Structure 1
Amino acid sequence: MTTQVPQRVPVPLDAPLPRFLVARQRFVDDAVRDPATALAEELRRVGAERLFGPGQRIAVTAGSRGIDQIATVTRALVSWLKGRGAQPLIVPAMGSHGGATAEGQLEVLASYGLTEAALGCPVRASMEAVEVGALPSGYKVYCDRFAFESDGIILVNRVKPHTILVGELGSGLLKMLVIGLGKQVGADSIHLRGLQENFLPATRVALARVPVKLGIALVENSFDHLSRIEAVLPDGIEEADRRLLALARSYLPTIPFDPLDTLIVLRMGKNISGAGMDPNVIGMHRRLGGPPTREIGRIVALDLTEESHGNAIGVGMADVITERLRGKIDLHATAMNAVTSGFLGGVKLPLALPTDREAIALALKPYDPARARAVVVRDTSHLDTMWISEPLAKVAGAMPALVVEGPPFELRFSPGGDVIGGP
């Protein structure tokens, strides 16, 4: 007996969906208005001019994340170094991202405007790394060869909560040092041996043996706008990472409803979160397992950002996706990230439906449209505005930090079944 697989999943296109209202969270936008001036003031504050001189080759790190104003900050830093006679060069510091190839990492940097033409200095990409030390656990510490052989390194990175690391350290300058500059071999090594337990000892080995001269720590606010630039001397990097992580956590936006029946995510991607969708928002258990940290019945992800360059790590945390998203996946880039991070569950492919309309209908299928607790977000990073179903609007009335705007509306779809507009 042969089982026929239907070409289309039998989800009625006219299945009723909840009505939604616009909800806006009250966040303070304390963005840095002039990043170049703020950077110059920070460099003066720590006396950075005494650290750099004529002819010195200074490696400036650049990562794979979409950081607000990163091209402006990097360009200003390069200009400042050249003004002191130094010879800056940009070094990709992104572990195995970009498909674990030099060409792929250059492509990632170019998508953020970090090119030789835009910055006025060379960009040197290589996957070659130098072993600089080891831990008793067997973890070996590596550093990008261009950076290691330079006269000094400036670490530039955003400080924010990590998708694996818990506690007082997350993504920041130290992560850029041991994982970003460690290239694929370094990232592989630390994830294999255990990131949480080896991270801090590895950073201390690296700081002792790698020519780090300065750190530039960046913090974004709840609107993903650059709100803090801080220059840090090497002996203060660990303290700064801890202190600024607490600040970054205070800015971290959330979805203020728990439980949810369905979460509709219009787009996911590496520039949104290292895990595609931030587990700090959707529930860390979807990333690490264990008891649920928040209750969301079903998550549907509709698209993958262009800035992800096909890397769909984290797609496995969704329950339903679209064929459009599936068609954008670069299996090699995604596999490299999964193998390096050990996040194999993050690349399991959910059921893919032909259109947004069908994917959303399937995610909402178990729930009464009049009672469904559903939220639509642009992505897990931009949560200042969201669409909430009518039952949630009643709950939101008791939340002073939330403003709900009516009247209720139905989701609009193109003739092809794709969502029109978004939060």
Structure 2
Amino acid sequence: MLTGELSNFVPLPRMIPVRQVFDAPTINDIEGELRKELNKEAIRNSIKAGSRVAVGVGSRGIANLPKLVVTLIHQLKEWGAQPFIVPAMGSHGGGTTEGQIKMLAELGVTEESMGVPILNSMDVVQIGTLDDGTPIYLDEASYRSDAIVFINRVKPHTSFKGDHESGLLKMMAIGLGRHKGTLAIHQHPLAEMPVLLPKIAEVYLKHAPIAFGVGVLENAYDKTAHIEAVTPDELILKDKELLIQAKKYMPRIVPEQVDLLMVNEIGKNISGSGMDPNITGRAASKAPQQFNAPQIERIFVRGLTKETKGNACGIGVADVITRRVFEQINLSYTYANVITSKILDSAKIPVIMSNDREAISTALRTCYHIDLQNPRVVWIKNTLELENILISESVLADMKGDPRIQVLGEPLEIAFDSDHNITTDIWRGMEHG
């Protein structure tokens, strides 16, 4: 811990609330756009009247997910099909039926809200193997259905990079493989996933009744930007093409040089990696980053989200935390996550300071080539909400009228309480700014 008089602390500079401006196409009529895609001839003809259709659902962090799923189900019913939902989330929810039903409910997907049953069992059928002998599994209820459809957001993965990351192929390969399938696939290093996913997809397309997938893209403000229904013969190519587009829609921290990034909260509901390495440029998996992330010297994490329930996966890429944050960590949840993923660096504990003021001072003092009188500081709520952020006056000066930055107010003196923790609650006002 730091010791000494308060005057020895490096102060936090005045912070300016700003809005980051991104190119952000948005779909306003979600139901209409999805129905248009579903009624493409090849998609419509893939479903026969009277057929039992497994609808794979389960990805976290999809805007408008309940509306997308219920629209898909209504369309299937109108075609005379008998749809049911299958949790397509691999080993999430602890790899248990109870945990996955709870996760779906938290996403707004229940039997009551969707009007169809949820068939949830961890039973799987082996439908093939890869050349190296890796078994490929499929949810049993889905395997015994007449048709399988699934809906997933296509986006950059936080732990591996390539032509195929998080998207339609991953929903098939890992989501529909349930817990047993996920464990089998994760025997391979994460770096191999972009090559493995299309190989696994080929097994699914040959041995499973895949009818179509629905890919969803989101813009930098987490609004639905694109919806596309994809036939089986297009799945592998379209998964690649949609990922390219998704990367163009990604938000970012606009300032390019940052001495200190302050992150108010991290959590599994924010990113699978706690804080998205596509935003910070830091990946515990050591995966190469393909985005123009800023050069950030120090990261200070101020808290965990309530929703993460103590799972501090991703804390290992931070440099400094407070004892308050350390005491929020549930090591059992965190270790279970990183051991399953085999990314142990994600759970390493950063330097622990007593309070916010000590953490800020330590982070700034340990930067190289820094002007301590005018440090470049950026403060974000989390890596998912990047529209409204705070930047120091030196950062604004560096931007030199960049149109991607809109100033929302005057520079603020950030207040601390008697325990030297920040009391200024800037986010509530900025969210409505």
What RMSD over aligned residues (CA atoms) do the two structures have, in Å?
2.7
Residue 409 of structure 1: SS of its match in structure 2? coil
User: What is aligned with 1:316?
Assistant: 316
Could you tell me which of 64, 81, 85 is aligned with 2:80?
A: 85
Corresponding position of 1:338: 338
SS at structure 2 position matched to 1:51: coil
- Structure-2 change in CA distance of 1:333 and 1:137 (3 Å): farther
Q: Does 1:380 align with 2:383?
A: yes
Structure-2 change in CA distance of 1:407 and 1:421 (3 Å): closer
Corresponding letter in the other structure for 1:378? K
Which ranges of structure 2 fall in alignment gaps of 5 or more residues? none
How many Å apart are 1:384 and its aligned residue? 2.0
Work out which of the residue numbers 95, 98, 117 in structure 2 matches 1:103.
98
- 1:19 CA displacement: 1.2
Structure 1 segment 289-308 matched on structure 2, within 5 A: 295-308=295-308
Aligned length: 416
State the partner residue of 1:348.
348
Matches of residues 152-301 of structure 1 in structure 2 within 5 Å? 152-195=147-190, 196=192, 197-288=195-286, 295-301=295-301
| Partner SS for 2:45 | helix
**Residues 60-117 of structure 1, C-alpha deviations (whole Å, 9 max, x = no match):** 1222412100111011111222223322222222222212222112221111111111
Give the distance between the partners of 1:108 and 1:291, measured in 2 at CA. Answer: 29
Match of 1:144 in 2: 139
> Is 1:57–1:151's contact at 8 Å kept on the other side of the alignment?
yes
- Report the AA paired with residue 113 of structure 2: A
SS of the aligned residue for 1:192 comes to coil
AA aligned opposite 1:350: P
For residue 66 of structure 1, the aligned residue among 61, 65, 83 is 61
Alignment partner, residue 396 of structure 2: 393
Q: Does 1:24 align with 2:28?
A: no
Q: Does 1:132 align with 2:127?
A: yes
Q: Give the secondary structure class of the aligned counterpart of 1:263.
A: strand
What is the CA deviation profile of residues 294-332 of structure 1, one whole-angstrom value per residue up to 9, with x for unaligned ones? 632221222333443443321211222345544554444
| AA of the residue aligned to 2:134 | Y
Contact 1:312 1:330 in 2 (8 A): yes
Deviation at 1:53, TM superposition (A): 3.3
> CA-to-partner distance for each residue in 1:102-150, whole Å, 9 max, x for gaps?
2112221111111111111122323333222211233222222222222
Counterpart-to-counterpart distance in 2, 1:12 and 1:89: 65
The one-letter amino acid of 2:90's match is: G
- Deviates most, 323-332 or 21-30: 323-332
Cα distance change of structure 1 residues 234 and 308 upon mapping to structure 2, 3 Å threshold: farther
What amino acid is the match of 2:198?
Answer: L
Give me the whole-angstrom Cα distance separating, in 2, the residues matched to 1:11 and 1:153. Answer: 65
Q: In 1, Cα distance between the equivalents of 2:275 and 2:256? A: 17
Task: Give the conservation status (yes or no) of the 8 Å contact 1:311–1:329.
Answer: yes
The whole-number CA distance in structure 2 between the counterparts of 1:86 and 1:330 is 45
> Taking structure 1 as the reference length, what is the TM-score of the superposition?
0.89
Contact 1:11–1:358 at 8 Å: present in 2 too? no
Counterparts of 1:333 and 1:295, CA distance in 2: 31
Deviation at 1:362, TM superposition (A): 3.8
Alpha-carbon distance, 1:184 to partner: 2.6
Indicate conservation of the 8 Å contact 1:279/1:287, yes or no: no
Moved more, 214-223 or 93-102: 93-102
TM-score by length of 2: 0.87
- Distance (whole Å) between structure 2 residues aligned to residue 13 and residue 31 of structure 1: 49
After superposition, the Cα gap between the structure-2 partners of 1:415 and 1:145, relative to the gap in structure 1 and judged at 3 Å, is farther
Residue 409 (structure 1) aligned with residue 412 (structure 2): yes
- What amino acid maps onto 1:254 in structure 2? R
SS in 1 for 2:304: coil
In terms of mean alpha carbon deviation, does 99-108 or 218-227 score higher? 99-108
Gaps of 5+ in 1: 1-7
DSSP-derived class of the 2:55 partner: strand
Q: Comparing 235-244 with 329-338, which one deviates more in the overlay?
A: 329-338
- Aligned mates of 1:60, 1:356 — CA distance in 2: 47
Structure 1 stretch 206-215 or stretch 311-320: which is displaced more?
311-320
Residues 284 and 314 of structure 2 are in contact (CA less than 8 Å); yes or no, is this contact kept in structure 1?
no
- Report the 3-state secondary structure (helix = DSSP H, G, I; strand = E; otherwise coil) of the residue aligned with 1:27: coil
